[in-house]
Amino acid sequence: MIHCIRSALLALLFVTLLQSVCSDFQTLAHLRAKASDKTQSRAVVDLLRRLLGNRSRDFIVSVNRTLSNDTLDVCELRSAKNNKILAVGSTGVAVATGIYNYLKYFCNCHVSWSGDQLNIPRPLPTLTGVLRINTPHRFRYYQNVCTQSYSSVWWDWPRWQREIDWMALNGINLPLAFTGQEVLWQEVYLSLGLNQTELDHFFTGPAFLAWNRMGNLFQWGGPLPQSWHVKQLYLQFKILDRMRSFGMIPVLPAFSGIIPEGITRLFPQANVTKLNPWSHFNCTYSCAYVLDPRDPLFQRIGALFLTQVIKEFGTDHIYNTDTFNEMAPASSDPAYLASISRAVFNTMTSVDPQAIWLMQGWLFISDPSFWKPDQVKALLHGVPLGRMIVLDIFAESMPVYSSTNSFYGQPFIWCMLHNFGGNSGLFGTVESINSGPFDAIHFPNSTLVGLGLTPEGIEQNPVIYELMSELAWRKEPINLSKWVSLYALRRYGSMDENLTAAWQLLFHSVYNCTLPQYKNHNRSPLVHRPSLHMQTDIWYEPADFYKAWKLLFEAAPGLATLETFRYDLVDVTRQALQLLTTEFYKEIRNAFQTQKLPDLLTAGGVLVYDLLPELNHLLSSNEHFLLGVWLEQAQSQGVDEHEAQLYDINARNQITLWGPDGEILDYASKEWGGLVEDYYLQRWGLFVNTLVECLDRGRPFKQDVFNQAVFQVEKGFVYNQRKYPSKPLGDTYEIAHRIFLKYYPYALKRLK
C-alpha cells in the first residue's frame, strides 16, 4: 500500500521535484539505512557484548546519521571518562568498523572465520584527539550467488549471526540476502496452477539451489522438502532483521525468466525457449525453460514474485537477478538484448518504482566471444543509467570496466572473487587487490560506486578478506609488507619475529599470484582424479613457502594453545603436503613411464601409506577442517531420517562428484579430515595399484578403464552413510611436528 501511495504522489509532483527524484536515482541516495539511529546503536552494543563480553562496557556507542553529509560512511572515536572509548558513526556498520579498526591497530586484536584473538589491554589504550575512519566508497558489497550453496547452505541462526557480525566489523553494507526464496516461488507457481509434482521436478536439493536460481540445474538432489521451505523462511526473517538493524541494505531476489516446464502446460502460447544443456549435464537435470521477457506472462510472473518478496521480506529497493548466466542468449541482435534487460527492469519497477537492478557481470567474462562491445552496451543501456549496478565480479584478475568505458555509464562495484568452489588452498593476488580499486577510482569518467567481496566459497584465507575489506576504507594503496607484519602481530598477539618473517614470505609467494587471468581452482593433483596428465605448475616459489613453513613451526611451541595459530599451522602444513603430493605424483608418473617398478613402489608407497594418512590425521585435529562438521550441519536440517539422508547425500555429492556422474567432478574440492582418508586416498591407492599392475603385467595404462573403476570409489563415498567425527581428534602440534620432521628435509631436497 505504501508503495502504491508513493507512486501516485510522484505522478502529481512538480517538475522540479521530479528532477530531484531523477537526481536521487543517479546518486543512488535512496539506497540507505532504514533502521533508526537508536536501533542501529543497540545492534552495535549487542554485537560488542557477543564479541567482547564484559569488556564491551568499555565502549560507548552512538549512531548519528547526520555525521555524514554525502552518504559516505564515517566513524569518529575519542577517549572518554573512566578509560572508555566513545564511537560515533553515520550507521551501525560505520561504528562497528571504526571500533574494529581501533581493536586492530590500538589493541592488537583480531576477528576471523578461523578464530579470534581478543586479548584486550586493560585499561583500553588512550586516543589523543579524534580518530576518524571513513570510506570513499558508497557501497561495500558481499557474497556471490554461489556462496549460498558452497558455504552457508547448512547454516543455523548462530552461524548466520556470527557472519553478520563479521560483515558489520568489516564494513559490509550491501549484502546479498537470498535465503528462503524458494517458498515464495512455490506460492507463485501454485497460484498459477502448477502442481507439486511439477515443482518437485523444478527445485534442486539444497546444496545446488544456487544453480537452480540461475537456471542451470533442476531436480538434481531433490525433491526439496516442505520443512526446508519453512525453516529457511524463518531464518531469512532473522537474517534480514539483523542486517537492517546495523544499517545494511540487503539485496533481494527478482525474476530472471527461468520457469518450470509446467508453465508450458498451463500457457501453451507463451514464448518459451528451451536452452541447451549447462556444463556437462544433459537435459535430465539441465536445459532450462526461459520465458521471453517481452511476453506478457513474464511481467505477470515477475510482478507476482516481487510482490511476494516485498510482502514477506520488506524492501530496500535493490534486487539481484542474472540473465544468461553461462547460457547464450537466443540472439546477439543489440535491439533484442536491450529489450530483454528493459523488460526485466520494467518487471521490477512495476512493483517497486524505486527499484535498482544489481547484476553480476560474470556473463561478460564467461562468454567474451558473444559479449562484444555492442552486445554489452545494448544489455546495459536497456536500463536507464543509474538504475543498474554491475558487479565487476572478478576485477582482481579479469576486470571488465576498463574495456567497457566503465560499463558504458552504469554504476559498478569493483569486486574480488578470489575463490572458486570453496576450495581449500592458500591463494591471493595481494598486489592486484592493493592497486586495482584505486586504478578503478582514477579511470577516466569512472562510475565506480563501491568495492565488493564475491567469493564462491568462504571460510578460507582469512588474511585476504581482511585486507580487501580494509582497502575499502583507504584513500591509497598500502605498504603490504608493513600491513602483513601488523596482521601477524594481531592474529597471534605475539611479537615473535619468526611470525612476521613467515607472513612476509607468504605475501611474497603463495599470496601474490601475478599470472594474468588466473582462476583460483585448487589444481593440485591431490584433489583431482588421478591420471598421467595432471597439472603440476604453481604460481610461486616453493623455497619461499617452505621457509615460511619452517619459521611458523619454530614459533609453534609458545602459541599451540591459540586457536588462530593452530588453524594457520594446520593450513600451512596442509599446503606443504599438497606441494609434496605433486612431487610424489611426478615421481610416480616418471617411474611408470620409464618402467622403474621399484621407484614406483617407493614413491607410491610413501604417498598412499604415509603422506596422505598423515594429512588426514593433521586435518582431523582441527575443528575447521572436518568433513564431519559439514555433514552434521547438513543432517541437522532434516526433520526425520529420510530428510537427513537426503541432505547428507547433497552435502557429499557437492564436494566430490558434483552431479550424478561426476559432471563437474572435484570443482568444489575440500581438504578435510575424513574426506582425505575415504575419498582422495582411496583414489590414489587405486591409481598406484593400477600402475603397478600394468608394469607388472606389461600392459598400458588405460585412463577410460581406470575412470570406470575409480568412479565406483567416488560414488561409494557419496552413499556410504559413514559417520565422521565432528570434534577434533589428536594434538595438532604433535602431529604437525611429526610431519615437519619427516617431510621438511624431503622438501628441501626437492629444491636442489
> Cell 598500502 belongs to which residue?
478
Whole-angstrom Cα distance, residue 430 to residue 468? 9
Whether 294 has a pLDDT exceeding 90, the answer reads no
Residues 159, 199 share a domain = yes
In a domain, 402, yes or no: no
In DSSP terms, 61 is beta-bridged to: 87
Could you tell me the CATH number of the domain that includes residue 726? 1.20.120.670
- CATH number where 387 lies: 3.20.20.80
pLDDT band for position 9 (cuts 50, 70, 90): very low
The answer to whether residues 489 and 500 touch, using CB atoms and an 8 Å cutoff, is yes
Both 255 and 385 in one domain: the answer is yes
pLDDT confidence tier of residue 259, bands split at 50, 70 and 90: very high
Categorize the per-residue pLDDT at 19 as very low, low, confident or very high, splitting at 50, 70 and 90.
very low
Give the count of beta carbons closer than 10 Å to the beta carbon of residue 711: 16
Task: Look up the pTM and report it.
Answer: 0.95
Instruction: Quick: pLDDT tens for 50-98.
Output: 999 999 999 999 999 999 988 899 999 999 999 999 999 999 999 999 9
Q: Does the residue 482 lie in any domain?
A: no
Q: For residue 110, report the phi and psi dihedrals to the nearest 5 degrees.
A: -155, 140
Closest CA to 6 of 255, 323, 244, 354: 354
Q: Is residue 722 part of a domain?
A: yes
Average pLDDT over residues 401-410: 96
Helix (H, G, I), strand (E, B) or coil at 24: helix
| Cis, peptide link before residue 368, omega less than 30° from 0 | no
Distance between CA 752 and CA 746 in Å, rounded?
A: 10
Q: Tell me the C-alpha distance between 438 and 468, whole Å.
A: 12
pLDDT at position 7 is 43
**Is the CB of residue 655 less than 8 Å from the CB of residue 713?**
no
Examine residue 450 and state whether it is found in any structural domain, yes or no.
no
Query: Does residue 140 surpass a pLDDT of 80?
Result: yes
Residues with Cβ within 8 Å of residue 335, at least 6 apart in sequence: 378
Give yes or no: residues 257 and 384 share one domain.
yes
Q: Of 98, 113, 134, which residue sits at a domain end?
A: 134
Query: Which strand (E) or helix (H) includes residue 698?
Result: none
Rounded to an integer, what distance in angstroms lies between the CA atom of residue 123 and that of residue 79?
11
- DSSP characters over 499-539: HHHHHHHHHHTTTB--STT-------GGGS---SS-----S
- Sequence-distant (≥ 6) Cβ neighbours of residue 369 within 8 angstroms: none
Greater confidence (295 vs 12) lies with: 295
Inter-helix orientation angle 92-107/37-52, to 10°: 30
Mean of the pLDDT values across residues 477-485? 98
Hey, CA dihedral for 407, 433, 398, 572, is it positive or negative?
Answer: negative
94 and 222 together in one domain: no
| DSSP one-letter code for 625 | G
Q: What is the reported pLDDT for 395?
A: 97
pLDDT score for 323: 83
Q: Are residues 173 and 209 in the same domain?
A: yes
SS3 80: coil
Reported as a pLDDT band with limits 50, 70 and 90, residue 649 is: very high
Q: Are residues 237 and 320 in the same domain?
A: yes
| CATH number of the domain bearing residue 56 | 3.30.379.10
HEC letters along 45-71:
HHHHHHHHHHHHHHEEEEECHHHCCCC
Whole-angstrom distance, CA of residue 465 vs CA of residue 461: 7
The per-residue pLDDT for 471 is: 98
Q: Which residues contact 311 (CB under 8 A, 6 or more apart)?
A: none
Are 306 and 387 part of one and the same domain?
yes
Please check whether residues 211 and 285 belong to one and the same domain.
Answer: yes
Is 19 inside any structural domain? no
Range of the structural domain that residue 670 is part of: 563-751
Q: DSSP string spanning 159-227?
A: HHHHHHHHHHHTT--EEB--TTHHHHHHHHHHHHT--HHHHHTTS--GGGHHHHHTTS--STT-PPPHH
Tell me what the mean pLDDT of segment 237-245 comes to.
98
> What mean pLDDT comes out for the span 354-367?
93
Lowest mean pLDDT among 363-377, 573-587, 721-735: 363-377
Scan for cell 608418473, then name that residue: 589
Among the listed ranges 21-30, 217-226, 659-668, which one has the minimum average pLDDT value?
21-30
Number of domains in the chain: 3
In a domain, 728, yes or no: yes
Cα–Cα distance, 355 to 345 (Å, whole number):
8
> Do 695 and 595 form a contact (C-beta atoms < 8 A)?
yes
As given in the structure block, the three cell numbers for residue 12 are 502529481
In a domain? residue 473: no
**Is a pLDDT exceeding 70 seen at residue 745?**
yes
Looking at the fold, whether 112 and 239 belong to one and the same domain comes out as: no
Rounded distance between C-alpha atoms, residue 478 and residue 480, angstroms: 6
8 A C-beta contact, residue 273 and residue 283: no
Let me know whether 115 and 228 are in one domain: no
Please check whether residues 151 and 176 belong to one and the same domain. Answer: yes
Four-point Cα dihedral 289, 293, 295, 297, nearest 10: 70
Cell numbers representing residue 250 in the block: 540487503
**Contact predicate 537/746, CB 8 Å:** no
Supply 33's cell numbers: 539505512
The whole-number pLDDT of residue 156 equals 98
Based on the fold, state whether residues 125 and 231 are members of the same structural domain: no
Q: Is residue 671 part of a domain?
A: yes
Helix-strand-coil percent breakdown of the chain, rounded to 5? 55, 10, 35
Q: CA–CA separation, 444 vs 194, rounded Å?
A: 51
Average pLDDT (563-574) is: 98
Amino acid, res. 420: F
Helix (H) or strand (E) holding 290: strand 289-291
In the chain, the largest separation of any two C-alpha atoms, in whole Å, equals 90
Rounded Cα–Cα distance for residues 589 and 117 (Å): 44
**350-360 residue pLDDT tens:** 999 999 999 99
| C-alpha–C-alpha distance, residues 681 and 673, integer Å | 11
CA distances from 60 to 55, 56, 79, 118, 367 (A): 11, 9, 10, 18, 51
| Last residue of one domain, picked from the residues 115, 134, 153 | 134
SS3 33: coil
The confidence score (pLDDT) of residue 27 equals 62
Final residue of a domain: which of 74, 100, 134? 134
Phi-psi sector, 119: left (phi>0), alpha (psi -120 to 50), beta: beta
**Paired residues of 273 in beta bridges:** 290
* In the block, residue with C-alpha cell 572515536: 77
Percent of the chain with pLDDT over 90: 92
Q: What is the pLDDT of residue 15?
A: 30
Quickly tell me which residue has 546503536 as its cell: 41
What is the average pLDDT value for the chain, to the nearest integer? 94
